[in-house]
Amino acid sequence: MSPSSYYDPDIYFEPNAIGIGDYQFQRFSALEFASREIYRNDVCGAIAEVGVYKGIFASSMNRLFPDTTAEVPDMKYAFVSLDTDLYKPIKAGLEYFWPKMADGGYIFVDDYGHKYLQGANQAVSEFVREHHVSYVRVNDGVDSTAILQKPL
């Protein structure tokens, strides 16, 4: 992969530079591809992360979306990461953020396929059925991430 024209080479995604394991490479690659689409489609809005372990994913989000938080007049979101592990906060996060997502914006839900944290899967499955939303699953070899995109 090579940086696109709108990436500063100093902030381009380098997995080893931010200390992630190989098992998370797919998730971080999906973040990079989502950020490219957000820039390409001129999606304006803030970024948010709900639930954070060490902040490595949030740090990457900030390196790929630094100008999007400068002016947010109507609190639209271009990117949201939900990583709370449990049904109730994930469902609440989806219900809260989805109406506030900018067209073309993304929501990532971590732990979607985690075998001990089935609440994430249940919350996403219910939400997409109730709101007729499509999603894709990125398998990172451990627990996978569900990715929802607001239509352009």
- Is 136 part of any domain? yes
**106-150 tens-digit pLDDT:** 999 988 888 878 889 999 999 999 999 999 998 876 678 999 999
* Residue 119 backbone phi and psi in degrees, to 5: -60, -35
Neighbours of 107 (CB within 10 A): 25
Domain count for the chain: 1
Mean of pLDDT values over 40-45: 91
* Residues belonging to the chain: 152
Segment 29-37 mean pLDDT: 86
Asked whether residue 124 is assigned to any structural domain, the reply reads yes
Please report whether residue 109 resides in a domain. Answer: yes
Q: Which residue has the higher pLDDT, 56 or 26?
A: 26
Q: Look at residue 52 and tell me if it is in a domain.
A: yes
Give the pLDDT band (50/70/90) at residue 66. low
Mean pLDDT for the chain overall: 78
Q: Which domain range does residue 50 map to?
A: 15-149
103 found inside a domain: yes
Q: At what angle do helices 56-64 and 25-40 cross, to 10 degrees?
A: 20
- Is residue 9 in a domain? no
**pTM given for the model:** 0.74
Q: What is the CATH number of the domain that holds 91?
A: 3.40.50.150
58 confidence band (pLDDT: 50, 70, 90): low
Q: What is the pLDDT of residue 144?
A: 86
Residue ranges of E strands in 1-152: 46-50, 77-82, 101-110, 135-138, 145-149
For residue 58, being part of any structural domain is answered with: yes
Strand partners, 49: 81
Question: What number is the average pLDDT over the span 21-26?
Answer: 63
Whether 8 is in a domain gets the answer: no
